Amino acid sequence: MPTRGQWVVVGLDNGGNTNNATVLEPSGRFLVDSMVERPSRVLEGAAVAVEALAQSFDEILERTGVARESVRAAGFDSPGPASADGVISSRGSTNFAHPSWRNFDYRGALEKKLGLPVVYNNDGNAAALYAHHVCFGPASVTRSSISAIVGTGLGGGVIEAGHIVKGGAGFAGELGHVHIPMEGILGEGQPVPRCNCGFVGDVESIASLTAIETNLLPYWLPRFEGHELGKIDDIAQAAKAVRSYGEKGDPLARKIFELQAMAIGRLFTIASRFTDPDAYFVGGGVAESLPEFREWFLAKVRENTALEEEQEETATFALVEHLDMAGARGAALAALESVHGEMA
């Protein structure tokens, strides 16, 4: 239950399968400690998905005992590609394949539906904002950070002085599509991998589940003769299994993850000369794995991030934990920030 007479903001995380919701007090306290999920129904088109988000909104208020009048704003995040203000790309995507999504003003539609100010961020940026707050707490507004989140692709975000850097067209923080040097990452005779975005040799072409499936596993598996993963016919299934082998210390899996850590380290090296952030965060499946494995991975990322001596002394490297809740919580933090901005 919220403190009496207190206002709150709501955070809604819109995923390919489910929505998750949370409630945040101005003090920074979340009223929900677990996932509160409902089907997102995004594949059924825009109108159905907006309705599903509104249901998530109602459900989280009921669950936390918050009156609708107490809600000042809602924050919401979704996968991209979308503009900085939440208009879905005309190109469509896996989640937004239904024709009704093309150029759909997702944020505007939800704002109309809820009758409240709605603040939009893409899921990578929302998670980055959450990671930033977990690390810095009340000092967030004076700090900067970069988050790399490994999933099907590589997402994340850039936070400067506590704010998400969105950029002119909403493409800031598209860290997967930054070119990195491939020297020492590619094996002998291995072609430079192409990313879905069309680039060759960007971060996502190495550090993503897609890269394991299309590039890393096909190259490395034959070099580990008789490996159990070779018995799995479906390469997509085999790619997904690599992480559990990594946890067990399997040399092939560790090789693959070391290459991913190198790619992320090289991205962070670029960031260190670009905006020189206080903190470098790594999230995704690896960050949720067994402690020995995730600490090993983080150490490899750090090892491959070439910082100046002064930066070495002050830089923080950390894993983004509880990523499942990061979207809703980051979305809520962004909504809180916008309310504070209006009040100032």
Binding site for Zn ion (CB under 5 A): 177, 195, 197, 199, 202, 204
In sequence order, the 6+-apart residues with CB closer than 8 A to the CB of 120 are 75, 76, 77, 78, 82, 84, 85, 86, 106, 107
Query: Least separation, in Å, of the C-beta of 199 and Zn ion?
Result: 4
Q: Which is nearer to Zn ion, 171 or 199 (CB)?
A: 199
Query: Least separation, in Å, of the C-beta of 198 and Zn ion?
Result: 7
Query: Least separation, in Å, of the C-beta of 193 and Zn ion?
Result: 10
Q: Which is nearer to Zn ion, 267 or 335 (CB)?
A: 267
Residue nearest to Zn ion (CB): 195
Q: Which two tokens stand for residue 35?
A: 């996932």
Q: Which is nearer to Zn ion, 95 or 205 (CB)?
A: 205
Q: Which is nearer to Zn ion, 13 or 213 (CB)?
A: 213
Q: Which is nearer to Zn ion, 177 or 255 (CB)?
A: 177
Q: Which is nearer to Zn ion, 158 or 253 (CB)?
A: 158
Q: Which is nearer to Zn ion, 97 or 197 (CB)?
A: 197
Q: Which is nearer to Zn ion, 199 or 224 (CB)?
A: 199
Query: Least separation, in Å, of the C-beta of 264 and Zn ion?
Result: 14
| HEC secondary structure over the chain | CCCCCCCEEEEEEECCCEEEEEEECCCCCECCCCCCEEECCHHHCHHHHHHHHHHHHHHHHHHHCCCHHHEEEEEEEECCCECCCCEECCCCCCCCCCHHHCCCEHHHHHHHHHCCCEEEEEHHHHHHHHHHHHHHHHHHHHCCEEEEEECCCEEEEEEECCEECCCCCCCCCCHHHCECCCCCCCCCCCCCCECCCCCECEHHHCCCHHHHHHHHHHHHHHHCCCCHHHHCCCHHHHHHHHHHHHHCCCHHHHHHHHHHHHHHHHHHHHHHHHCCCCEEEEEEHHHHCCHHHHHHHHHHHHHCCCCCHHHHHHCEEEECCCHHHHHHHHHHHHHHHHHHHHHC
Query: Least separation, in Å, of the C-beta of 271 and Zn ion?
Result: 17
- The residue type found at 37 is E
Query: Least separation, in Å, of the C-beta of 306 and Zn ion?
Result: 22
Q: Give CA–CA dist 14/146, Å, rounded.
A: 22
Q: Which is nearer to Zn ion, 196 or 244 (CB)?
A: 196
Burial class (CB in 10 A: 0-12, 13-18, 19+), 5: exposed
Query: Least separation, in Å, of the C-beta of 154 and Zn ion?
Result: 8
